[in-house]
Structure 1
Amino acid sequence: MIVYHASKKGFINDVFNGTIADDIDHAFLIHLGRHTSPNEKLSWKNSMMHMYKVINTSDIPDNSTIAIEYQIPLTSKRIDFIISGVDDNQRSNIVIIELKQWEQAKLSSKSGIIQTRFQHGESETAHPSYQAWSYAYMLQNYNETVREQNIQLLPCAFLHNYQEDHIISNECYTEYIIKAPLFLKSDARKLQEFIKRHIKYGSKEDIVWLIDNGRLRPSKQLADALNSMLHGNREFVLLDDQKVVYETALNLAREAAKGPKQVLIVEGGPGTGKSVVAVNLLAQLTKEGVVAQYVSKNAAPRDVYTAKLLGSFKKSYINNLFVGSGSFIDTPQNTFGALIVDEAHRLNMRSGLYSNLGENQIIEIIQASHFSVFFVDDRQRVHIKDIGSKATIQKFAESCGAVVHTAKLNSQFRCNGSDGYLSWIDNTLQIRQTANIRLAADDYDFRIFSDPNQLFETIKEKNQINNKARVVAGYCWDWNSKKNPNAYDIILPEFHFKKRWNLNADKNLWIIGNKSIEEIGCIHTCQGLELDYVGVIIGPDMRYENGQIITDVTQRSNNDQSVKGFKSLIAHNKIKALQDADEIIKNTYRTLLTRGMKGCYVYCCDKPLTEYLAAQLEPQHDESIPELRIEPEVNNEVKYIDFLPLYSIRAACGYFGEGEMVDESGWMKVVTPSRHIPARNHLMQKETGLMKKLFSNLKIPIILP
């Protein structure tokens, strides 16, 4: 997604006229439904003035293309500044520039990490060259257009307030500075030369527009990449806060081997990359000879990972890598170098089928290892026995005498990279108030169905692509098929809809099974895993009435262990019990609604809830009517072919040919409902060439056939 888009000439004019920060802010409002902060506007104003000075030369063509705050597909990360064009060899190039207003920094012993001062104080962050390179890497790997058209991505970093101090350019960062050159306060001329080498001419096609509308590669999922990662291959480049957490964890694991016990607690919501960082840590620590294990309470992720690895590794080796959270009851102190606990919010007090083994899973894990890292999301507590909150883990870690560190993952890599969707879910389910009151269609493919059969068939169609779409539901129906395989579980008689729970055939491998699309999953078989598309049936345990989301634990199935013991709890403290049940039900649906990387489709048993959810969506544009794209300026080569002039009403009121000239207000992209009309075939080129000469003289806008 492009927030600001103009030619170099248009950008120069916007900066010169002092409107650039307001223009970007207005674009933010249009695209993201919100204004940005005053500090960010000030940052744009300052940084864009420096970029104005760098590119304000006739050696950089006026019709090269500028994009500001370009969002990398399928992520929430944005590239600060892009300039595109072609070089002497007519190769399409994109220069990616990471802009920083830093004035000083401190060295870090962690690879690719540096420390600097932000508004909230000093903290560690990715080195600007690493950041620029990683953004280019992500764009290269996500966008098929970049690969198919051989577009060269050239990342760099420009710290326009930073005087050379041999810290930001220290030799420990050489690996990344080579990949993404670093330009400081006195290097504006060098940056200009860097751009001039690669952007000699404007492109006949808008390269940034091509990329933004290009075909995306199938999204990479952790389970599919696991085998390669454990063989030492890079499958995921960690971005920003992921990189900081990863390097921090590695550093603490190395320190703990020769010093006091270390504990790292990492907070992160759905799709922030907790599992990706966890498995990267497992692979690297194992490579370094550290005895490490990946720990999870939920068996489904472990079983899926095991299934993906069988045939490449011995089963005993796999079983030693991926273990349950109840595996450390009798483990001697410091047996392991590192224990990596994913979905730590699911940890229980005691272990075993009947919760009668051990004393405390958190303490047992901490005691068993020199270093332990807990990846936690307090809003994914979905079982009455879940105790793994950030505060609880910290309390028990301190009681064990461990040195406790905390970190946070914020960036979104699921749900189309939409931070707004996650905030919208929280606001809509009334978990917490956010500013995301309405969900725009551009944010995420979210649809509401009035018929569960239509939902199911739509998900089945999506599943034909790559077997990565499933339907899940709240646990509101008994598991009848457990005893009678011919029985059905989820039955909605008014729609003649009947399906089975998934736990008979594929069990915990349901999410990757070849035939399991016909079955419905629940929270226990999908938490910690991801899909491309997820269908969610919201059962009668959640409804909408009198302006409130109402949860009803009595509508949960008696087979659901998540709320087992609720009746006895309500007898002791009714208010607390109802609060816990409300939290568990809302968290369950929050988790289910965030399993899809590309889309989520919903059916609600409660009709008022359906109407309420629909009211929280922005009105969608009619797809049969193309969205108008109007640019202030376009290259001469595409005028009257791909773009037609747009005039104000004065043109209609005046007299063409009688001396009054009306300049165009902009240029409108020619489209049809199904495709762009570039008029590129041989016959149309001849025809449009004649028409271009005719209408460029007349200055009359016309839509070509």
Structure 2
Amino acid sequence: MISNEAHVKLAPHQSLTPEQETLVQHIHHFITSHITDEQPAIFVIHGDAGTGKSVILSEVFYQLQQARRNPDSPLYQTTNYFLVNHPELLKVYRQIAGELPQELKKDFQRPTSLINQCHKHQTGFDVGVIDEAHLLLSQPDHYNNFYGQNQLLELIKLAKVLIIVFDERQVLRLKTYWTKARLQQLLAPYHQEWFHLTTQFRMQADDQVINWIDHFTGDQRLLPITPSFFNNYDFRVFDDAEIMRQAIVHQNNQVGLSRVVATTGYPSTLDGGKHYIHEGRFKLPWDQYNYTVTPWAEIPETINEVGSIYTCQGFDLNYVGLILGPPITLAADQQHLQIDPTKITDVEAFKKRDDLTDPNELNHAKITLVLNAINVLMKRGVRGLYLFAHDKQLRTVLTAMYTNAIKD
């Protein structure tokens, strides 16, 4: 049986809010209304990390697969796929499918695999449900066998209806570079409907914590840390990365699913070797490529690794200890963050693309991607968020803010 918390949250039949239930019903109506249209139709669920987008998609797809087996349904015998361009998240969905009567593991695919399969057999499909659509490739990627210009456009050509989840603040690589404006421009020729989710479900934190993170990773402003941060949430700032690691290990021993993660800025090369993050007494290797069917965060030994956006995006952790790497520094006014693109070490994620020829636009895109990564990593922790900053000035200011809030 599915017992892991991440599996439970992504499995269908969870307790949905009235708003979520209404949205699921509305999406089902959207599918049945447009399944016979001559032109593709797209439904976009837009919302920040932790707003329940994946939970809704999971329920939508389960009901869709039920309907395709019902002779009385207009969706009878339709061919439908659930797509996600994230190998770790795909493992979870396929494990869930193995436990459910209406779903098959082969229903869950990587976009490139399905696109190439459809092209090879000259076929299409009826409904595509796409989680994390902001991870779809928006340029060719021959290394991963995608030779088109844009994965979403290719999927639109193959499908009758697409239901997609999109969050421009979770765009993390230049080869998957999206903005809301770019998405709207691509979808302009097609019938479309948008729904914006706002309620935060993942983090058991006060709204002020969410607001603090949104400013930290948005306009880069450092808001005060207040006593309300500690209302039913374990928010801490550390002056020593090793002590933070020990606190995360303790939480992992108590409740599980607790990991140290980090932003870019440390040696990182996909060459099969180990590359270490070193901060004072703290020294751990980056996460290794996971060849198993078990998601990275669920492997016990990964408590001795540092997670990244590649292993943590889309997942719930109980506690997350985030190391803010060298590109993230304190601005001269001591009230804002400053991002130094020259200290980015994730070469693959920030590889230049041909359609970003303006150096200023490219630089802005890199800064945005670093801020997006911080936002994603900060919002992993359901029960707690621990912070350590490499930049000494930033660490001093954050520690002082945190210490003063504890005293109040």
Q: 2:61 matched to which residue of 1?
A: 282
Q: 2:358 matched to which residue of 1?
A: 573
2:16 matched to 1:241? no
* CA distances 1:613-660 after superposition (whole Å, capped 9, x unpaired): 34555844569xxxxxxxxxxxxxxxxxxxxxxxxxxxxxxxxxxxxx
Q: 2:30 matched to which residue of 1?
A: 252
2:97 matched to 1:319? no
Tell me how far 1:355 sits from its aligned partner. 6.8
Tell me how far 1:538 sits from its aligned partner. 0.8
Separation of aligned partners in 2, 1:259 and 1:573: 40
Which of 462, 465, 471 matches 2:251? 462
Q: Is the 8 A contact 1:470 1:520 kept in 2?
A: yes
Which of 398, 417, 430 matches 2:188? 398
Separation of aligned partners in 2, 1:363 and 1:337: 15
Alpha carbons of structure 1 residues 243 and 497: separation in structure 2 relative to 1, 3 Å: same
Superposed CA RMSD: 3.1
3-state SS in 2 of match to 1:562: coil
Q: 1:371 matched to which residue of 2?
A: 161
Q: 1:526 matched to which residue of 2?
A: 312
Q: Is the 8 A contact 1:342 1:374 kept in 2?
A: yes
Tell me how far 1:432 sits from its aligned partner. 6.6
Alpha carbons of structure 1 residues 309 and 250: separation in structure 2 relative to 1, 3 Å: closer
Alignment of 1:510-525 (within 5 A): 510-525=296-311
Separation of aligned partners in 1, 2:8 and 2:16: 17
Q: Which runs of 5+ in 2 are unaligned?
A: 69-77
Alpha carbons of structure 1 residues 417 and 279: separation in structure 2 relative to 1, 3 Å: farther
Q: 2:349 matched to which residue of 1?
A: 562
Q: 2:241 matched to which residue of 1?
A: 452
Separation of aligned partners in 2, 1:448 and 1:365: 44
Tell me how far 1:480 sits from its aligned partner. 6.5
Q: 1:268 matched to which residue of 2?
A: 47
Separation of aligned partners in 2, 1:616 and 1:491: 25
3-state SS in 1 of match to 2:362: helix
Structure number with greater Rg is: 1
* CA distances 1:389-425 after superposition (whole Å, capped 9, x unpaired): 33333322233xx311111111111221544322211
3-state SS in 2 of match to 1:416: coil
Separation of aligned partners in 2, 1:582 and 1:250: 38
Q: Which runs of 5+ in 1 are unaligned?
A: 1-218, 624-705
Identity %: 23
Alpha carbons of structure 1 residues 387 and 480: separation in structure 2 relative to 1, 3 Å: closer
Alignment of 1:284-683 (within 5 A): 284-289=63-68, 290-307=78-95, 309-310=97-98, 312=99, 317-324=104-111, 327-329=114-116, 331=118, 335-349=124-138, 350-353=140-143, 357-399=147-189, 402-431=190-219, 437-439=224-226, 440-443=228-231, 444-479=233-268, 482-484=271-273, 487-492=274-279, 495-504=280-289, 509-547=295-333, 548-557=336-345, 559-565=346-352, 572-614=357-399, 617=402, 619-621=404-406
Bigger drift between 278-287 and 465-474 goes to 465-474
Tell me how far 1:457 sits from its aligned partner. 1.0
Alpha carbons of structure 1 residues 620 and 521: separation in structure 2 relative to 1, 3 Å: same
Q: Is the 8 A contact 1:298 1:324 kept in 2?
A: no
Tell me how far 1:274 sits from its aligned partner. 0.7
The one-letter amino acid of 2:374's match is Y
Q: 1:186 matched to which residue of 2?
A: none
Tell me how far 1:368 sits from its aligned partner. 1.9
3-state SS in 2 of match to 1:575: helix
Tell me how far 1:273 sits from its aligned partner. 0.2
The two structures have a TM-score, normalised by structure 1, of: 0.51
Q: Is the 8 A contact 2:208 2:229 kept in 1?
A: no
Pick 1 or 2: higher relative contact order, CA cutoff 8 A, min separation 6. Answer: 2
The two structures have a TM-score, normalised by structure 2, of: 0.84
| Number of corresponding residues | 387
Alpha carbons of structure 1 residues 612 and 292: separation in structure 2 relative to 1, 3 Å: farther
3-state SS in 2 of match to 1:471: strand
